[in-house]
């Protein structure tokens, strides 16, 4: 996950920021694009393009993919590999706040988590090796509580 990732900054903050960036880059403010942005802004974690398509009435699949591509190009969203057939997308917090993911290999449930000790370790290791870190993504796979109870 990039050093610039998600936070719970609210719908208006990120969506307004994203719309301004799209305007600056010369993209039009279409109704479909706005719906996709508002949908992403209301999420605290990653969603797939298919999930967005299924939940947004009046927005074509091509518009969903085109908008995600434009948002990714402007580093407003990032792809997150959660396993499975489809990449997920998550809004990028311009302040750099982010989280990581726990993914259940049985049901596909995704739980976000934060751990300051892990963050410190991630940033200390490259310095020891003379490596400059540009971003990172941590995804832990296993069995969630619900599936483990079966």
Please report, for the domain that includes residue 113, its CATH number.
Answer: 3.30.1490.190
Per-residue model confidence as pLDDT tens digits over 1-53? 333 333 334 446 999 999 999 999 999 878 999 999 999 999 989 999 999 99
Q: Are residues 77 and 126 both part of a single domain?
A: no
Q: Which long-range contacts (CB under 8 A, 24 or more apart) does 11-14 make?
A: 11/38, 11/41, 11/42, 12/41, 13/41, 14/40, 14/41, 14/91, 14/93
Query: Can you give the pLDDT at residue 135?
Result: 79
Question: Edge-to-edge strands of the sheet including 110-113?
Answer: 110-113, 100-104, 139-142
- Look up residue 62 and give its DSSP letter: H
Q: Are residues 60 and 129 both part of a single domain?
A: no
Q: Are residues 83 and 58 both part of a single domain?
A: yes
Q: Are residues 19 and 67 both part of a single domain?
A: yes
Query: Can you give the pLDDT at residue 136?
Result: 83
Whether the full predicted model's pTM is greater than 0.75, yes or no, is yes
How many other CB atoms are found less than 10 A from the CB of residue 39? 19
Q: Are residues 52 and 69 both part of a single domain?
A: yes
């Amino acid at each position: 996950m990039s050093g610039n990732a998600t936070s719970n900054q609210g719908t208006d903050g990120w969506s307004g920021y994203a719309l301004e960036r799209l305007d600056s880059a010369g993209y039009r403010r279409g109704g479909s694009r706005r719906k996709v942005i508002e949908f992403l802004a209301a999420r605290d974690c990653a969603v797939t393009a298919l999930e967005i398509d299924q939940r947004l009435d009046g927005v074509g699949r091509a518009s969903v993919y085109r908008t995600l591509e434009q948002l990714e190009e402007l580093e407003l969203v990032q792809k997150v590999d959660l396993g499975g057939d489809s990449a997920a997308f998550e809004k990028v917090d311009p302040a750099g706040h982010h989280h990581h993911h726990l993914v259940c290999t049985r049901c596909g449930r995704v739980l976000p988590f934060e751990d300051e000790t892990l963050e410190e370790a991630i940033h200390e290791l490259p310095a020891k090796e003379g490596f400059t870190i540009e971003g990172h993504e941590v995804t832990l796979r296993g069995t969630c509580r619900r599936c483990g109870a079966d």
